[in-house]
Amino acid sequence: MAKKSISEKTPHGKDDSGTKTDDQLDPNNPPDFSDPEDYVDDIDDEELLDDILPLRPSETDGVESVIIVDGVPKVDPKKLEKLQMVIEKIFTKFGKILHKDYPQDENEMTKGYTFFEYDNPQSALAAVKGANNHKIDKSHTLKVNLFTDIKKFKNIPNEWEPPKPQPFKAASDLHSYLLDPDAYDQFCVAAGHSPLVVQIWQNAQPEPAILKERNGWTDTYVKWSPLGTYLATFHSARGVALWGGPEFERIARFAQKDVELVDFSPNERYLVTFSPRADASEKRLVMWDILTGQEKRSFNPDGPNVWPIFRWSCNDKYVAYMGEDVLSVYETPSFGLLDKKSIKIPGIRDFSWSPTDNIIAFWVPEDKDVPARFTLMEIPSRNEIRKNNLFNVADCKIFWQKSGDYLCVKVDRFAKKKEKTEQKYTESCKFQTLQHFAGMSYNFEIFHIREKLIPVDSVEIKEPIHAFAWEPVGTKFAIIHGEIPTVNVSFYEVRCGHGPALLKKFEKKACNHVFWSPQGQFVVLAGLTTMSGALEFIDTNDFTIMNLTDHYQASDVEWDPTGRYVVTSVSSWKTSVDNGYWLWTFQGRILKRVNVNQFHQFLWRPRPPTLLSAERIKEIKKNLKKYSAQFESKDRLRLTRASKELIDKRCALMKEFEAYRAKRIEQYNEQKKGRLQLRRNIVTDELDSDTQNMDEEKVEFFIKEESFILDK
């Protein structure tokens, strides 16, 4: 039976079922699609519109820029205007507020909460992060949430379920590099462009060995933490990451856009990140807890500042910030103001913490007839343990000795009358003071911190000063002074009960920087950048010049933590010619030259302070000759033998050859009988034992002879 087509109709305009078709419906009597009165619909909307219902509008849609501020004081209409000024001063710094509402009850008292609508969702989110938990007074703390959080709070289950315990994950050993049996140091090299390549090397002998290499590990540069535990990398969109452990795994990440500068606390408990180009609605300076990754506090410092803006005490217990006429000291871990108030110091210009004690040194310039003042203050007591008046002061610089025993204050004085000094803000976030040296003198005030009443010695130099540096371990300091291009270098020693003694003065030297060995005694005088990289290695025990050389256009000098090696480098950030680094011994003997295209950084990995007591260190130094012979023989053995990998390869090849040789000798002996038969028992091989007397004949013939003169 043939099937009908779709368009085929039956007679009288009906289909096979007897129902009228669409073209035959009566227009005067339209069909009724209503359900009967007793009809029950057993299909719900979720079944019919399963794919559409999730897209339905929510009551919170379109209000992403609205925040709810709770914890606002309840006031009457008379105090409402003052309340609005206080509250809106806090929230206007995050963005432009389009609408605001302070709900009131029937008595016109505010209800303790308010609404703000910003012009964009980003400002609302910044307000939540920046103003939440903000204290107005002792009784009121603001709680700030997005209006869209209503949905989140509505979906909180009625019954609380305890969180499931997470499986234990053992942390990697962050100090594994200290367990190297030969105590090899590590260093980091950054080079290249898009992507920037970062390499971690071990300074092994006879050749350094690469430990880790990654492309695009950082966007700009890298930095070691003070004790060498972490390596910090910078990522413009994601923030700062810390890496550590044997495989340099990511330990923590701190989300903040466009971070350009970081600063670790001395004991590596806290991290400060700074985004100088951040918008007004974004955080510029944030303090983090490294162990938990938690944000502790944020600041938006105004105007140019010398980095680091916040400076840490030696034990991570305090961090201080210098504002206009105030010094604010915050205590950890709360990061609240010490004693809930700043220290008022009118005109404060600069300050610095002692590297070993909770002591702050700061100075204040002259004000009309009041002389300049330098002060040492204990924290947290705020007691001024030493105060020194200074006259005719143009500028001061503070230099602490690493052990905290001494402090030097470099005082630039006007010899006749005051001349104007100009300050220029540079891109490196530092103030560069431009001065006219004519008619000026320079005093170095040496404070003996450990002695009773903290006596002060003074050294005066009437020539321009280019550099000052303390010996890290010891009592010496060096000063570069004089007119460029030939300057003088003077070495002094601090002595108890007497003024600083001049030990040695080198004249007409081409240098502008002093680099002391971390262990003291040895020093490198370097003429960096503008002086074409002149280098001079000096032993300050007897002031012997161990080597006088140069590294053309050298821009940086880095001592390793042990003081055995020093690296000079030419960074592409300073010049694009001859980029790379050279490795020297502390005596100035060149060990290695490495040329790297687009080389940027060379950084030795720091080591934590030794756990040995001062008496134990003194004993080791006294008996050093007993140990030195052992170490020298070990060093010679390393330098003369091949690397371990090469030795293992040679041993494997030798074993393979001996096995092959033994197999062939065995085959040779098996074929001996047949070989003799073929030769009619005439022995021609020395390996055969049954040798016979044979005649020997020697044949000599001339091949060729040439004569020529060698060029000298």
Neighbours of 212 (CB within 10 A): 16
Question: Quick one: tokens of 278?
Answer: 């951040």
Q: pLDDT tens across 150-195, in order?
A: 777 778 888 888 888 888 877 788 999 999 888 899 999 999 988 8
Q: What single string gives the DSSP state of each residue in 196-260?
A: PEEEEEE--SSS-EEEEEEETS-SS-EEE-TTSS-EEEEETTTEEEEEETTTTEEEEEE--TT--
Q: pLDDT at position 579, please?
A: 94
Question: Quick one: tokens of 396?
Answer: 């001061």
Average pLDDT, integer, range 51-69: 73
Q: pLDDT at position 429, please?
A: 38
State the sign of the Cα–Cα–Cα–Cα dihedral 675, 679, 684, 689.
positive
Q: pLDDT tens across 343-362, in order?
A: 999 999 999 999 999 999 99
Q: pLDDT tens across 419-454, in order?
A: 444 444 343 333 344 344 446 889 999 999 999 999
Paired strand residues for 434:
422
Q: Kindly report the average pLDDT of the chain as a whole number.
A: 85
Bond prior to 333 in cis (omega within 30° of 0): yes
**pLDDT beyond 50 at 477:** yes
Q: What single string gives the DSSP state of each residue in 467-486?
A: EEEE-SSSSEEEEEESSSSS
Question: Distance between CA atoms of 378 and 6, rounded to whole angstroms?
Answer: 100
State the sign of the Cα–Cα–Cα–Cα dihedral 577, 583, 587, 590.
negative
Average pLDDT, integer, range 47-61: 65
Q: pLDDT at position 60, please?
A: 52
**pLDDT beyond 70 at 59:** no
Mapped onto helix, strand or coil, the DSSP state of residue 652 is helix
Q: pLDDT at position 566, please?
A: 96
Bond prior to 365 in cis (omega within 30° of 0): no
Beta strands (DSSP E) in 58-185 are 66-70, 97-101, 113-118, 135-137, 140-141, 143-146
Contacts of residue 374, Cβ cutoff 8 Å, sequence gap at least 6 = 361, 362, 363, 387, 388, 390, 396, 409, 445
Q: pLDDT tens across 72-91, in order?
A: 999 998 889 999 998 998 89
* Percent with pLDDT over 70 in the chain: 85
216: left (phi over 0), alpha (psi -120 to 50) or beta: left
Check residues 131 and 227 and name the one with the higher pLDDT: 227
Amino acid at 285: L
* Percent with pLDDT over 90 in the chain: 54
State the sign of the Cα–Cα–Cα–Cα dihedral 40, 43, 45, 46.
positive
Q: pLDDT at position 355, please?
A: 95
Question: Distance between CA atoms of 47 and 672, rounded to whole angstroms?
Answer: 95
Cβ pair 214, 197 in contact under 8 A: yes
In this prediction, residue 10 has a pLDDT band, given cuts at 50, 70 and 90, of very low
Q: pLDDT at position 644, please?
A: 66
> Residue with structure tokens 């003429």?
527
Mapped onto helix, strand or coil, the DSSP state of residue 632 is helix
In this prediction, residue 710 has a pLDDT band, given cuts at 50, 70 and 90, of low
Question: Distance between CA atoms of 451 and 468, rounded to whole angstroms?
Answer: 23
**pLDDT beyond 90 at 648:** no
Element (H, E) at 669: helix 644-670
Q: By C-alpha distance, which of 506, 449, 140, 133 is closest to 314?
A: 449
Distances (CA, A) of 350 to 323, 355, 524: 10, 16, 29
Cβ pair 604, 185 in contact under 8 A: yes
Buried b (16+ CB within 10 A) or exposed e, 385-422: ebebebebbbbbbbbbbbbbbbbbbbbbbbeeeeeeee
Neighbours of 343 (CB within 10 A): 18
**pLDDT beyond 50 at 4:** no
**pLDDT beyond 90 at 93:** no
Question: Distance between CA atoms of 147 and 458, rounded to whole angstroms?
Answer: 65
Q: By C-alpha distance, which of 521, 585, 595, 573 is closest to 549?
A: 585
54, exposed or middle or buried, with CB in 10 Å at 0-12, 13-18, 19+?
A: exposed
Q: pLDDT tens across 100-129, in order?
A: 999 998 888 999 999 999 988 888 888 888
**What is the 8-class DSSP label of residue 642?**
P
**pLDDT beyond 60 at 12:** no
pTM of the model: 0.70
Cβ pair 472, 519 in contact under 8 A: yes
What count of residues does the chain have? Answer: 712
Paired strand residues for 330:
319, 337
Angle among Cα 414, 418, 423 to the nearest 5 degrees reads: 95
In this prediction, residue 398 has a pLDDT band, given cuts at 50, 70 and 90, of very high
Mapped onto helix, strand or coil, the DSSP state of residue 363 is strand
Distances (CA, A) of 182 to 248, 531, 633: 21, 37, 14
In this prediction, residue 537 has a pLDDT band, given cuts at 50, 70 and 90, of very high
**pLDDT beyond 60 at 472:** yes
Neighbours of 204 (CB within 10 A): 17
Q: What single string gives the DSSP state of each residue in 52-81?
A: TGGGS--TTTT-TTEEEEE-PPP--HHHHH
**pLDDT beyond 60 at 690:** no
Check residues 528 and 302 and name the one with the higher pLDDT: 528
Average pLDDT, integer, range 698-707: 76
Buried b (16+ CB within 10 A) or exposed e, 263-291: bbbbbbbbbbbbbbebeebbbbbbbbbbe
State the sign of the Cα–Cα–Cα–Cα dihedral 330, 335, 339, 341.
positive
Q: pLDDT at position 530, please?
A: 80
Q: By C-alpha distance, which of 61, 135, 122 is closest to 96?
A: 122
Question: Distance between CA atoms of 11 and 73, rounded to whole angstroms?
Answer: 85
**pLDDT beyond 60 at 95:** yes
Average pLDDT, integer, range 614-633: 82
**pLDDT beyond 90 at 26:** no
Q: pLDDT at position 700, please?
A: 80
Question: Distance between CA atoms of 34 and 507, rounded to whole angstroms?
Answer: 111
Distance of CA 97 to the CA centre of its chain: 37
Q: pLDDT at position 337, please?
A: 93
- Bridge-based pairing of strands 456-461 and 197-202 is unpaired
Question: Distance between CA atoms of 69 and 91, rounded to whole angstroms?
Answer: 10
Question: Distance between CA atoms of 487 and 337, rounded to whole angstroms?
Answer: 47
Per residue, the 3-state secondary structure of 381-401, as one string, reads CCCEEEEEEECCEEEEEEEEC
